[in-house]
Structure 1
Amino acid sequence: MAEEQQLRLDLDELRHLESIAKRPRVLSLLSSEIRDLDAKLSRVTDVTAAARQAAIAAEKVPVNVDAVNRSYVTLGSFSWDQDNDKIKIYISIEDAEQEKVDTVFKPMSVDIKFHDIHGKNYRFAIPKLNKEILPEKCKLVVKPNKVIVTLVKGSKGNWLDLHLKEDKIYISIEDAEQEKVDTVFKPMSVDIKFHDIHGKNYRFAIPKLNKEILPEKCKLVVKPNKVIVTLVKGSKGNWLDLHLKEDKLKPNLDKDKDPMAGIMDLMKNMYEEGDDEMKRTIAKAWSDARSGKTADPLKSYP
């Protein structure tokens, strides 16, 4: 502002001098200086005006403190159905207003916020959908006592669940540090090493997983008193167990092998895998057979 004022004063004095000058050379010099100062004043005026407009605009922008500090009650109760193309979610909520609902549809998530319902705010969210949707085709309709959300599937077909189901392993361990954990994910195994926890090292490993995983999509997150390992399945479906269960009880049917040896292996595996009651039963059967109290179950075999 001070610079603009000084330029105006200089211009006024130069114009006064121009009005009283007589000699052509002096008039030319004064005219040239007036043009230069006039152009400079124009630039300074533009900058000042722009700064003033920005300040006014900033004053007009309301800072919505309520929006920043707004809290929400989570809506966890809902029902849903589907056809080959769409999914409909029914959320029980009364007195919602269409203009007070914010919806965010993304290919793999849904986030819906209901504002100012009797002084409270509510939220319904699915952070990871089972499969992809088409956000631009999804919609929400408010009814008197419920809200209907229509999700358009990215590809036709049946969904087993709305949520993406990931296999998570929870390991109870305190004071682990993310940078001191080594993870090795392979298609059929997991190996995790925890270093320098109060001077000790720990290891968690599954050498043979039940089925294949996608190593590049698996992850580990360290929490204050536990570690969460997320395994992404190579194919959809339920696992009966994390570990691969090999059938140890299946007898070897090799034709060249002595059938008696196969039966003995079977009995041995049954004994090793069985509980205390099973072990007592097998031991008693063998003991009785050998003492002649009962017929030897293997006597008929050559």
Structure 2
Amino acid sequence: MATANKMAEIKIDIEELESLKKQATRRYVSDLLSLEIRKLETQLSKLHDDRINESAAALANNVITEKSDSKRYQIKLNGYGWDQSDKFVKVFVTLKNAQTLASENVYCNLTENSMELNVKDLDNKDYVLVINKLLNHVNVKASYWKQKTDMVVVFLSKSIPGTNWSHMTEIEKRFDENKANKFKTDNMDGKGPQDSLMGLMKNMYESGDDDMKRMIKKAWTEGQDKQASARSMDF
């Protein structure tokens, strides 16, 4: 802005000197005015070049900044802790040095049944935690978040204070309910312990992850080997 103002002033000076030159009747005076006009024109040209260089430097700096930003990569968080009071469900997200960030680098996008925590440029990384299908609705306007030492805490305001949340999300609640139903044995139907155990292992296998399935297969194989060994000893 200062350069632009100075250039405008020099242009006005040049115009006035040009006007005086036209009125001059003596050669010496006219030459002096011409010399001063050329000096001002040289200054104006230099200021113009400086302004172009400044703009180019600013553009280059922006490009460097954008390239630097582009090197940051996003980390999706899955782990968090949570607790509740009568009014809030508190979500605890552990992030080392979270307290050092500017407040605008830590923010939440909230809806009545979801939250998305964003932590930008922490040790050149961006972090995001998304929790969808909250168990109950939250009051978005009354919710907020705080940066603490090595942690961000999100305070989700309960739409109905005093409501107890058994789970954080609907999905977790359904999963636990389905798991409980699957793990019920058929013992109540008059089947023996062996049948109940078989049913339990089958349900665990069907609902388990890859590691669980490998463990069950291993246990089953070892059990079969032991039974075969026992039968051979009986003979």
TM-score in terms of structure 1 length:
0.35
Structure having the higher Rg: 1
Structure with more strand by fraction: 1
More RCO (CA 8 Å, sep 6+): 2
**TM-score using structure 2 length:** 0.43
